[in-house]
Amino acid sequence: MGVLDLCGSRREDIDGIVGQAGPDLAYLLGLGPIWASPDPLGISGVMTAADAIAAGHCASVLVVGGCAGLSATIGSADQGLLHRAGNEFVSSVGMYTAVEFALIARRHMATYGTTSEQIARVSSTIRNNGHVNPEAVFYNRGPYTIEDVLASRMVADPFHLLDCAIPAEGACAILLTTADRAQDLRLPPVYLLGAQQDYFGAPYTHAPSWDLRSFNGGPDDCIGMVGHRAANQCFELVGLGPPDVDVLELYDPFSFEIIRQFEAFGFCKPGEGGGFVMDGNMDPSGAFPTNTDGGLLSYSHNYTGQTHQKVGRCVQQLQGICATTQIPGAEVAMASNGGAGASWCWVALLGNERP
C-alpha cells in the first residue's frame, strides 16, 4: 500500500502483480481477477511487467519482493545464513556465497593486481552512504575507513567481514504503468529505458571460474564479465553510453562485485576497476555515484527483495526524493541484479525523460 499512497494510485487501478508472494498479495489486497506472474526477482520482474503492459494484458502492475521471518528459521551467526543448497560438486568443498565471489575476486587480483585496499574502498564508500541513511540497517554505524574494513575479521579471503552484505529483512514494491497513466500520478514518472539479462547457468552449482565460457560467446563473454553483453545491448537500445549515467544502484553482495561491474558494463577498461574506485568515481560527489542508499552492504540484503530495491532506489533518485545522498539533477540511472559468483547478471536503465 506504501507505493500506492506514495504515488497517489488507487488500489482499483492495479490489474497485475509480479512476485514470489504475488498470489498471496493479490488475495491480501483484495485484488482479483488480475494478471499475475510468479517471477521472484526485481529486474526480471520489471521486464515481465513491462512486457505484459506492452502486450495489453494489464496496465498497472505491482512488482514486489521481500522476506520476513526467514532469518529466524535458517541459521545463526555461526552458520551459513545464505548457504546455498549447491550440489555434489560444491557442497562438500564448503562453498557458500562469500567463497563463490571470493574466488572470482582473487582471480581478478592475480590477473590485474587489484588490491585489498581497492576492494575495501568500495565497502567503505557504500557503507558510508548507509551510515547517513536513517532507513539503512547499518544507519549511524560508521563512518568507515579503508583501514576499518581491512581490520575487520576475515570471512573468506580476500573478503573481510565489512566486505560482506549482512542478511536482513524487509520488502520493496515498484508500480509499473503506462507512460500516459503515469502522468496523472503524484510523483514524477520514471521511464524504463531498457533492460537485458545475461545468464551462464544455474548459480552456485559449478566452479566459480572467471574464465568459464560457452561455445557461443564472444571474446569478452565469460563469467568474470557477465553483464557485459546485457549492458552493451541496453546502452545500444537506448542510444546512451556509460558517461550518460548519473547514478548507479548495483548488486553488491560483496564489495569486489562493484569493481567487476564497472569493468563489465564499460565504465572503465578490464583491470582498471580498482583504480577507478580509488579515484573517487563511485563517491556521492564522483562521476558515477554508486549505491546511494548504502546498498546490500549497509542498507539491507533482504533475499529476493534486494533485487527490487536496486530498481526502487533508481526510481527515487530520478524522482529526486531521496532523503539522503540524493544526486542533484540525476536523469539516467542504472540498476543491476546478480553477479559473477552467481553466473548471471541483469541490468536496467531508467530515466526521467520520456524516450
- Degrees to nearest 5, angle at CA 317 with 139 and 98: 50
| Identified binder of other proteins from the candidate list 50, 206, 319, 331, rule CB under 8 A | 206
The residue among 204 and 303 lying less far from other proteins, judged by its C-beta, is 204
**209 sits near other proteins (criterion: CB under 8 A):** yes
Q: With CB under 8 A as the rule, give the number of residues binding other proteins.
A: 41
**90 sits near other proteins (criterion: CB under 8 A):** yes
Q: What are phi and psi of 172, to 5 degrees?
A: -145, 140
Could you say which of 96, 144, 251, 303 is catalytic? 251
Q: Is 299 labeled as catalytic in the residue annotation?
A: yes
Whole-number Å distance between alpha carbons of 64 and 81 = 23
The residue among 122 and 350 lying less far from other proteins, judged by its C-beta, is 122
Rounded alpha-carbon distances, angstroms, from residue 102 to 107, 115, 194: 9, 13, 30
- Return the number of other C-beta atoms located less than 10 Å from residue 353's C-beta: 11
Residue 240 C-beta: closest distance to other proteins, Å: 34
**342 sits near other proteins (criterion: CB under 8 A):** no
**94 sits near other proteins (criterion: CB under 8 A):** yes
| Identified binder of other proteins from the candidate list 23, 24, 111, 145, rule CB under 8 A | 111
C-alpha cell at 55: 502486450
Rounded alpha-carbon distances, angstroms, from residue 1 to 9, 30, 346: 9, 12, 27
**91 sits near other proteins (criterion: CB under 8 A):** yes
The residue among 87 and 183 lying less far from other proteins, judged by its C-beta, is 87
SS3 51: helix
**208 sits near other proteins (criterion: CB under 8 A):** yes
C-alpha cell at 35: 494478471
The pattern of x and - marking residues 278 through 297 that bind other proteins according to CB under 8 A reads --------------------
Whole-number Å distance between alpha carbons of 267 and 80 = 33
**344 sits near other proteins (criterion: CB under 8 A):** no
Quick one: DSSP state of residue 59?
S
Nearest to 256 by CA among 55, 106, 75, 42: 106
Q: Is 144 labeled as catalytic in the residue annotation?
A: no
Length of the chain: 355
| Identified binder of other proteins from the candidate list 79, 134, 186, 285, rule CB under 8 A | 79
Residue type, 279: D
For the four alpha carbons of 22, 11, 194 and 259, in that order, the dihedral sign comes to negative
Nearest to 110 by CA among 274, 277, 340: 274
Residue type, 220: D
215 to 234, contacts with other proteins by CB under 8 A?
215
The pattern of x and - marking residues 252 through 281 that bind other proteins according to CB under 8 A reads ------------------------------
**109 sits near other proteins (criterion: CB under 8 A):** yes
Nearest to 296 by CA among 153, 129, 116, 71: 129
The residue among 271 and 320 lying less far from other proteins, judged by its C-beta, is 271
139 to 178, contacts with other proteins by CB under 8 A?
153-158
Single out the segment in contact with other proteins by CB under 8 A; choices: 94-102, 117-125, 182-190, 256-264. 94-102
| Identified binder of other proteins from the candidate list 11, 23, 89, 183, rule CB under 8 A | 89
Residues 6+ apart with CB under 8 A from 217: none
The residue among 110 and 323 lying less far from other proteins, judged by its C-beta, is 110
Residues that bind other proteins (CB under 8 A): 78-80, 83, 86-96, 98-99, 102-104, 106-107, 109-111, 113, 153-158, 206-212, 214-215
Active site amino acids: 251, 299
